[in-house]
C-alpha cells in the first residue's frame, strides 16, 4: 500500500499503553500517552503513524525471523541485538488471557514457546522480551485485520534502524540501556542526532508523560521523524517491496 500524507506521529509501547510524539502542521511537537491503540487512532484521526512494534505476522518462522529483521540487523553493528525475531502468528495467539499472577504469566510464556517451537525452523522458543510485547503486537494486528483502511496509515519502524537512517546510514555507537538501566551517554548521543534533525533540546530533555519511560519517549520522537519521511515518500521499506502476511498486511520495517 502506498503511504499517504497526514500529521506525523511516532509511537512506542510503554507501561501505560502507548506513547505518541506528534506534530500538527505548523506547531511544535507534543507527547501524549494513550491506554489503547484505538484511543490513539481516535485522538489522531489523520495521522501517518510509524510505530516501534512488529506488524505482519508469519505463519512459520524461519532462521532470523521475518524478512525485515534479517535485512536490518547487519546495518546496526553492535546495536543489532535490539532487533529480535518474531515468532509465528500461532505462537502470538497461543494464550491471550489477562494474567493476574506471575505464575500465570510464566505458564502462558511456556505455552507460547511450545507453539513457537513447532512453527519455526530451526525450532526456537519465545524470549521473555518478545513475550512481554505480545499483547501489543496483537492489539495492532487485530485492528489491521478488522480495518484494512488503516494499513495505509500505520507502518512498522524500529528506533535503532531509524537512528541509523537519520544518521546517514551509520548506527549509534552507544547503547540506550546497559543491563536494563538507562545509559545517559547513549541517550545524549541520540538526542544530539534528533536535534540535528530539527528537534529542540528542551523538548527532548523534558520528563516523559506519566506512564512512559524516558527511552520510550525518545524512541517515539525518532519514530515521528520516520512517520514524516513515510508521509513525504522519503522512507524506504526493508524489504523493498514489502512482504505480506496471510491477511495482506505489509511486513516491512520502514525508515
d(CA 74, CA 202): 33
DSSP class of residue 79 equals: G
Q: 38-65 burial by CB neighbour count: b if 16+ within 10 A, else e?
A: eebbeebeebbbbbbbbbbbbeebeeeb
Domain assignment of residue 49, yes or no: yes
Q: Check pLDDT > 80 for residue 4.
A: no
Q: Is 114 exposed, middle or buried (0-12, 13-18, 19+ CB in 10 A)?
A: middle
d(CA 34, CA 49): 14
CA angle, 31 as apex, 30 and 34 as ends, to 5°?
140
Domain assignment of residue 67, yes or no: yes
Enclosing domain of residue 190: 1-85+140-255
Q: Check pLDDT > 50 for residue 2.
A: no
Domain assignment of residue 19, yes or no: yes
User: Is residue 152 a contact partner of residue 3, using CB atoms and an 8 Å limit?
Assistant: yes
d(CA 86, CA 124): 10
Q: What is the pLDDT of residues 23-63, one digit of tens each?
A: 998 899 999 999 999 999 999 999 999 999 999 999 999 88
Give the three-class secondary structure for 26. Answer: coil
Grid cell digits, residue 113: 514457546
pLDDT for position 160: 96
Please confirm whether the linkage preceding 239 is cis (ω < 30° from 0): yes
Q: What is the pLDDT of residues 127-167, one digit of tens each?
A: 988 999 999 999 999 999 999 999 999 999 999 999 999 99
pLDDT for position 174: 96
Domain assignment of residue 90, yes or no: no
Output the pTM of the full model.
0.95
Q: What are phi and psi of 150, to 5 degrees?
A: -75, -15
Q: What is the pLDDT of residues 185-195, one digit of tens each?
A: 999 999 999 99
Q: What is the pLDDT of residues 69-119, one digit of tens each?
A: 989 998 898 788 888 888 999 999 999 988 889 999 999 999 999 999 999
Domain assignment of residue 94, yes or no: no
Give the three-class secondary structure for 250. Answer: strand
Q: Per the structure, how many domains does the chain have?
A: 1
Domain assignment of residue 108, yes or no: no
| CATH number of the structural domain spanning residue 168 | 3.30.420
Domain assignment of residue 3, yes or no: yes
Domain assignment of residue 118, yes or no: no
User: Across-strand partners of 32?
Assistant: 20
pLDDT for position 32: 98
Give the three-class secondary structure for 58. Answer: coil
Amino acid at each position: 500500500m502506498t503511504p499517504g500524507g497526514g500529521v506525523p506521529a511516532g509511537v512506542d509501547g510503554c507501561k501505560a499503553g502507548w506513547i505518541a510524539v506528534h506534530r500538527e502542521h505548523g506547531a511544535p511537537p507534543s507527547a501524549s500517552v494513550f491506554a489503547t491503540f484505538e484511543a490513539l487512532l481516535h485522538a489522531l484521526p489523520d495521522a501517518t503513524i510509524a510505530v516501534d512494534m512488529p506488524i505482519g505476522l508469519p505463519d512459520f518462522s524461519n532462521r532470523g525471523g521475518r524478512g525485515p529483521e534479517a535485512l536490518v540487523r547487519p546495518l546496526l553493528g553492535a546495536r543489532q541485538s535490539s532487533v529480535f525475531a518474531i515468532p509465528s502468528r500461532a505462537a502470538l495467539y497461543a494464550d491471550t488471557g489477562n494474567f493476574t499472577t506471575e505464575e500465570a504469566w510464566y505458564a502462558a510464556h511456556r505455552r507460547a514457546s511450545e507453539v513457537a517451537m513447532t512453527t519455526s525452523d530451526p525450532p526456537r522458543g519465545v524470549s521473555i522480551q518478545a513475550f512481554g510485547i505480545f499483547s501489543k503486537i496483537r492489539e495492532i494486528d487485530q485492528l489491521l485485520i478488522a480495518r484494512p483502511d488503516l494499513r495505509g496509515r500505520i507502518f512498522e519502524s524500529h528506533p535503532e534502524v531509524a537512528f541509523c537512517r537519520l544518521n546517514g546510514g551509520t548506527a549509534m555507537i552507544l547503547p540506550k540501556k546497559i543491563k536494563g538501566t538507562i545509559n545517559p551517554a547513549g541517550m545524549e548521543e541520540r538526542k544530539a542526532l534528533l536535534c540535528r534533525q530539527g528537534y529542540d533540546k528542551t523538548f527532548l530533555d523534558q520528563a516523559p508523560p506519566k506512564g512512559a519511560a524516558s527511552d520510550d519517549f525518545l524512541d517515539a520522537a525518532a519514530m515521528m521523524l520516520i512517520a514524516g519521511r513515510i508521509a513525504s515518500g522519503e522512507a524506504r521499506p526493508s524489504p523493498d517491496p514489502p512482504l505480506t502476511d496471510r491477511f495482506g498486511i505489509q511486513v516491512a520495517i520502514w525508515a
